[in-house]
Structure 1
Amino acid sequence: MSDLHIRAAEPSELDAVLAFWKDAAEGTSISDDGTGMARLLARDPESLLLAECDGELAGTVIAGFDGWRCHLYRLAVHPRHRRRGVARALLAAAEERFVSLGGRRGDAMVLDRNESAHHAWRAAGYAREPQWSRWVKPL
């Protein structure tokens, strides 16, 4: 990448990130709205990492740490920038953040049907744990 830069998102960029996810992310989440994103940044201002390439938003990852566990969400790379190291750079930045906060293991939410994402996560050293299932209840 000619000019790849990773940084934390600013609250003023949340609408642009939400629009980006419509093109670059798989699926949607109940918290994919301005209110949910603003709440995330209010609680953990450096949790939403953006990758910019030549000044353009190329990718995102949410690297949330609750003081106990390190959670990765919304790893998304725009189709124009895929297979160029953007996801790898975002995950490296997220992992550095976790280590600096005292985190010991990162876990990721990955859609079962998103086979291309499975390859990316494996390449980054992550592995599925078959003994776990995600249980949810909308509030």
Structure 2
Amino acid sequence: MREPRFTVREAKAEDVHAMLGLWAATPGIGLGVGDDEEDLKRFIARNPRTCLVAWKGGILAGAVVGGFDGRRGYLYHLAVRKDYQSQGIGKALVAEVLDRFREIGARRVHLLVFTTNQQAVAFYTRLGWRLRQDVLVASWDCEPGKDCGC
């Protein structure tokens, strides 16, 4: 008997625990500030159309979260369970989220990948993403009482 195909749908609050578990188990995904259940639920509530999960036979096979700032789309934490890779799940999640970004008016989408995550770099390159060499990413953790130095 043939194994059922996967289903892609919008992420819900009840998916958050499984999503965080998937990301924690996926090499190359960096979890940090803002990657907890409450913050992820808030992110999904702000970006319901661009946070997606792929389910296959009752198992979370893949997930991606996307955010839109009114100009650009941003992809974060695309992951597919190791035992479900090479079945088109990652590609389907990216295609669906890009369609949704187009629908809401994004003209460009950015994503962040650790330079050490060569599997992800190769995946996105195969899909036609352009690796940028002209920008750097700088981060600031907004901790209570932390002086910004301004």
Alpha-carbon distance between aligned partners in 2 of 1:124 and 1:51, rounded to the nearest angstrom = 19
Q: Highest CA radius of gyration, 1 or 2?
A: 2
2:147 corresponds in structure 1 to: none
> Does 1:73 find its partner at 2:76?
yes
Structure 1's unaligned 5+ residue stretches are: none
- Give 1:44's match in structure 2, choosing from 34, 47, 56: 47
Q: Percent identity?
A: 30
- Give 2:15's match in structure 1, choosing from 13, 16, 20: 13
Amino acid in the other structure paired with 2:55: E
Amino acid in the other structure paired with 1:123: R
- Give 2:137's match in structure 1, choosing from 121, 127, 134: 134
- The Cα of 1:61 is off from its aligned counterpart by 0.8
Matched positions, count: 139
- The Cα of 1:27 is off from its aligned counterpart by 2.2
Alpha-carbon distance between aligned partners in 1 of 2:4 and 2:48, rounded to the nearest angstrom = 27
Alpha-carbon distance between aligned partners in 2 of 1:117 and 1:41, rounded to the nearest angstrom = 23
Q: Which secondary structure does the structure 2 equivalent of 1:46 belong to?
A: helix
Mean CA deviation greater in 41-50 or 91-100: 41-50
1:122 corresponds in structure 2 to: 125
TM-score, normalising length: structure 1: 0.93
C-alpha RMSD of the superposition: 1.4
Conserved? CA contact 2:47–2:66, under 8 Å: no
- The Cα of 1:84 is off from its aligned counterpart by 1.4
Alpha-carbon distance between aligned partners in 2 of 1:61 and 1:41, rounded to the nearest angstrom = 11
- Give 2:63's match in structure 1, choosing from 60, 76, 92: 60
Structure 2's unaligned 5+ residue stretches are: 143-150
